[in-house]
Structure 1
Amino acid sequence: MPDSTFPNAAELLARIAELEKENALLRQKIDALARKIYGVSSEKLDPAQLHLLLQGLDEPGKAPEPVAAEAPRCSKVPSPPRSRTPKHPAHLPIIEEVIVPEPVKAAPEQWRRIGEEISERLDYEPARFLRRRTVRPKYVRRGLLDAVPVIAPLPPAILERSIVAPGLLAQIVVAKYCDHLPLYRQESIYWTRHQVWLPRQTMAEWMGLAADWLKPIYEHIRSEVLSRGYVQVDETPIRYLEPGHGRTKLGYLWTCHAPRGDVVFHWQTSRAASCLEKIIPVDFRGTIQCDGYEAYDCFAKGRGEKIVLAGCLAHVRRKFYEAKETAPKVAGWFLRHFQNLYELEAQLRQSRAGPRRRHAERASLSRSVLLRLHRALVRLKTVRRYLPKSLMGRAIDHALNQWPALLVFLEDGRLEIDNNLVENAIRPTAIGKKNWLFFGEAAAGERSAILYTIIESCRRRGIDPFAYLRDVFTRLPSMTNWQIKDITPEVWAKQQCRTAQRAAA
């Protein structure tokens, strides 16, 4: 009788084939992880690279031809010329030094000046601390020995009986949330370079003070961002210190961005759909553009028909970009069509097209490209050419799952084609957390969200965040809540522009 412990040849071959498939999938995962860690992060493809991917695409048996119609091709939009930075910017103050020859100094009456040679160099003076002293003289009326002395009231301050002035508070905020310097580094810089001792614990308390004063401005920006009916949302993980254990837990900084508007950050200790209930107002009606994370879908279903979810084509394209090493020809075919879509968007952006024109151009050009892509995806899924767990199989499944949301931007000219703008707004926080690593506590996340929102609003309008914060910290103690709308970065920038125009006139 045959020994049952030894498999037959058919079972052995089937097991070998299964292990080979598993080995191929694991190799794809390892290669993708290695490219993510050690490879370049840019996903740009030049035409020559696309041509290499697409070589032999039309050969029989190599790759499927999804449809017969040809996708519209958009001409490449030329980039605007970049002006060179002037060697000596005209707006800088000039410190002039006149060097007279020694013979002329000895007998100036024997010499006549006939001209001059001018040379300029760009110099820099480091920042400095100063003591701002407020003197309030006391007066008493002459002839009245028992009269009450008269003294001017002390101007309102951010924090009474504290050494911190608006300029110092603005400097610490900008250094941490704009220049990404942790407080312990600032502590060292101020002591070693200026001999001023500012403990990091004191500066941390001042950060909480700054956030409390700026919170009304933050709430005003938040209401403006969420009142437009269209917002892009994304989240990024940030660790925070758990009190009493010396360990960190994972929290999330949620970002809401209004295209051509402001960005507002929200701090939550989780990534659940319930966090969106705290971020998005109950009366919000409109479109939320996001990636394929399931929490958004759960949140939108809970709000009924009030919210429409728009997808992100960049996330879909990224999956095919990651699969181009394992399936170069098919991935190249998809990437070429994605490139056509983005070239059209670049043309519309360069011409500053409004919502109506964007809607018309997308209906006539982008829709046909997307229909062709969808037919190709359905065909590849039907013939089961790629394993579901392979990189190309995952790219196809992700695209089909997100397809209804990807078509939403065709119906509304206000919408963007992807979520890249909100991802770009998150980048400053990603740079910062590489330096300070984590928040000191969960409550510090909310304070950081407020300060990041103000700094980002300044950056978007090209204004100096230090000048803005110093002015706002000076004016806030004497203002009411009704005046908050007059000192937002948007209004402040317009006021500075009008002041500069009047000065020039």
Structure 2
Amino acid sequence: PVEVIEQLPPELTGPDADQYDIIGTKTTYRLAQRASSYVVLKCERPVFRRKGTDQKPVTTPAPFNVLDNSLADVSLLAGLLVDKFQFHLPLYRQHQRIQQAGITLSRSTLTNLVKRAIDLLRPIVDAQTDNVLRSRVLAMDETPIKAGHQGRAGPQKGKMKTGWFWPLYGDDDEVVFTYSNSRGRLHIEQVLNDQFSGTLISDGYAAYARYAAAQKGITHAQCWVHSRRCFVEAQKDHPEKATEALQQIAKLYQIEDTIKEKELTGEKKRQYRLDHAKPVVSGFFQWCRDQLGQGGLLPSEPLTKALNYVLGRETSLTVFLEDPGVQPDTNHLERALRPIPMGKKNWMFCWTELG
């Protein structure tokens, strides 16, 4: 919003103002801030009855509110949720702000309002999940979060147990976060639930590969960035060979940058990858086999593990070459995970999984 302030000099407001002509206007801008404010909406509803009758008085109905019998207007609910989950402002800080505005409200009231508001959003999340599962290309990942007590007695007293967020990233750039108290394959089966068919992109966690192998209509693609990390870890012990591997992988991303610059899509994108990226990928895997074939590497060495990691995933790492809709990595999903580490301070002392 823009507020216009007219700045008039003394000459144009004094007794000789009519002696001057305004021949133009110069404009300057400043960005201002208004303090966050709360407003009490006082709704006065007439109670009435027809004259000259003994009819019961009629009370004008209250205006609609999204929560029945609640002091919270929908604008307060939206503000609580956006501040807490979008901008990571914990409820205790929001409570301090409300108190400084001169409003007496308990912290537990804010907690209950957030919980009730989240229940209102469940149909939206369900609809988004259904839409994401209709994607032709789906990215999936998992990230840990401390949630809930380990127990009240024994060596684990007072410890937090680990839960897992499992985000899904679909064709329409929608991200849906699902939750499980374990990292097992069962959650993948429950979430996808035979509703998804297409290409599933993931990191190297074996549960995704096993799930995809057991399902018809699912192609499994894996992430080149996670493969790259293995060679980064091997650089300390084998700097020359690990760097050579990283340079070959970098060529793939140079090709992807060119595709973006040329704005190639569909069949043109697929053909460009086949002409330029496929020879690089083929040469890379042959180079990996040559390194293992030369001998001299112990099974426990980081370079050996990196070479075996990529060779064991050769098929899934080449899926993107034939399908222009498949990205070579899960970076788009990794970026969507940022709210989780950013929000962990908010959730540090949530002693329940629901919290």
TM-score of the aligned structures, taking structure 2 as reference length: 0.90
Which position in structure 1 is the counterpart of 2:144? 237
2:220 aligned residue (309, 320, 329): 309
Instruction: Answer yes or no: is the 8 Å Cα contact 1:274–1:299 preserved in 2.
Output: no
Deviation at 1:154, TM superposition (A): 2.0
Deviation at 1:111, TM superposition (A): 5.6
Which position in structure 1 is the counterpart of 2:5? 96
Instruction: Sort the Cα spacing of 1:117 and 1:216 in 2 relative to 1 into closer, same or farther, 3 A.
Output: closer
Which position in structure 2 is the counterpart of 1:278? 190
Which position in structure 1 is the counterpart of 2:71? 163
Provide, for residues 455-475 of structure 1, a one-character-per-residue CA deviation record: whole Å limited to 9, x for no partner. xxxxxxxxxxxxxxxxxxxxx
Instruction: Sort the Cα spacing of 1:243 and 1:150 in 2 relative to 1 into closer, same or farther, 3 A.
Output: farther
Instruction: Sort the Cα spacing of 1:349 and 1:196 in 2 relative to 1 into closer, same or farther, 3 A.
Output: farther
1:225 aligns with 2:137: no
Instruction: Answer yes or no: is the 8 Å Cα contact 1:327–1:392 preserved in 2.
Output: yes
In the aligned structure 1, how far is the partner of 2:77 from the partner of 2:12?
51
In the aligned structure 2, how far is the partner of 1:359 from the partner of 1:117?
55
In the aligned structure 1, how far is the partner of 2:304 from the partner of 2:334?
26
Which position in structure 2 is the counterpart of 1:334? 245
In the aligned structure 2, how far is the partner of 1:377 from the partner of 1:165?
62
Deviation at 1:441, TM superposition (A): 1.1
Provide, for residues 333-352 of structure 1, a one-character-per-residue CA deviation record: whole Å limited to 9, x for no partner. 22222122112212223333
Which position in structure 2 is the counterpart of 1:186? 94
Deviation at 1:117, TM superposition (A): 5.6
In the aligned structure 2, how far is the partner of 1:287 from the partner of 1:110?
75
Instruction: Sort the Cα spacing of 1:400 and 1:98 in 2 relative to 1 into closer, same or farther, 3 A.
Output: same
SS in 2 for 1:271: coil
SS in 2 for 1:241: strand
Which position in structure 2 is the counterpart of 1:36? none
Instruction: Answer yes or no: is the 8 Å Cα contact 2:148–2:161 preserved in 1.
Output: yes
The gaps in structure 2 that reach 5 residues or longer are 153-157
Deviation at 1:119, TM superposition (A): 4.0
Which position in structure 1 is the counterpart of 2:168? 256
Instruction: Sort the Cα spacing of 1:348 and 1:137 in 2 relative to 1 into closer, same or farther, 3 A.
Output: same
Superposed CA RMSD = 2.2
Which position in structure 2 is the counterpart of 1:24? none
Instruction: Answer yes or no: is the 8 Å Cα contact 1:238–1:438 preserved in 2.
Output: no
Provide, for residues 237-272 of structure 1, a one-character-per-residue CA deviation record: whole Å limited to 9, x for no partner. 001122873431100000110144211110100000
In the aligned structure 1, how far is the partner of 2:60 from the partner of 2:150?
46
Amino acid at match of 2:68: E
Which position in structure 2 is the counterpart of 1:389? 300
TM-score of the aligned structures, taking structure 1 as reference length: 0.65
Deviation at 1:118, TM superposition (A): 4.8
In the aligned structure 1, how far is the partner of 2:194 from the partner of 2:308?
33
Which position in structure 2 is the counterpart of 1:131? 40
Amino acid at match of 2:159: R
Q: Which stretch shows the higher mean deviation, 118-127 or 224-233?
A: 118-127
In the aligned structure 2, how far is the partner of 1:348 from the partner of 1:121?
41
SS in 2 for 1:204: helix
Q: Identity rate of aligned residues, in percent? A: 29
SS in 1 for 2:33: coil
Highest relative contact order (Cα 8 Å, sep 6+), 1 or 2? 1
Amino acid at match of 1:171: G
In the aligned structure 1, how far is the partner of 2:290 from the partner of 2:74?
64
In the aligned structure 2, how far is the partner of 1:438 from the partner of 1:394?
38
1:195 aligned residue (102, 105, 115): 102
In the aligned structure 2, how far is the partner of 1:200 from the partner of 1:169?
14
Give the 5 Å matches for 1:397-412: 397-412=308-323
1:297 aligned residue (206, 209, 220): 209
In the aligned structure 2, how far is the partner of 1:198 from the partner of 1:354?
55
Which position in structure 1 is the counterpart of 2:61? 153
Instruction: Answer yes or no: is the 8 Å Cα contact 1:243–1:441 preserved in 2.
Output: no
Instruction: Sort the Cα spacing of 1:313 and 1:110 in 2 relative to 1 into closer, same or farther, 3 A.
Output: closer
Amino acid at match of 2:206: E
Provide, for residues 88-131 of structure 1, a one-character-per-residue CA deviation record: whole Å limited to 9, x for no partner. xxxx3124143442x775x5246633446654322111210000
SS in 2 for 1:442: coil
2:230 aligned residue (307, 310, 319): 319
Misfit runs of 4+, over 6 Å = none
Amino acid at match of 1:165: D
SS in 1 for 2:143: strand
Amino acid at match of 2:273: R
Instruction: Sort the Cα spacing of 1:439 and 1:231 in 2 relative to 1 into closer, same or farther, 3 A.
Output: farther
SS in 1 for 2:178: strand
Give the 5 Å matches for 1:56-71: none
Which position in structure 1 is the counterpart of 2:30? 121
The gaps in structure 1 that reach 5 residues or longer are 1-91, 445-505
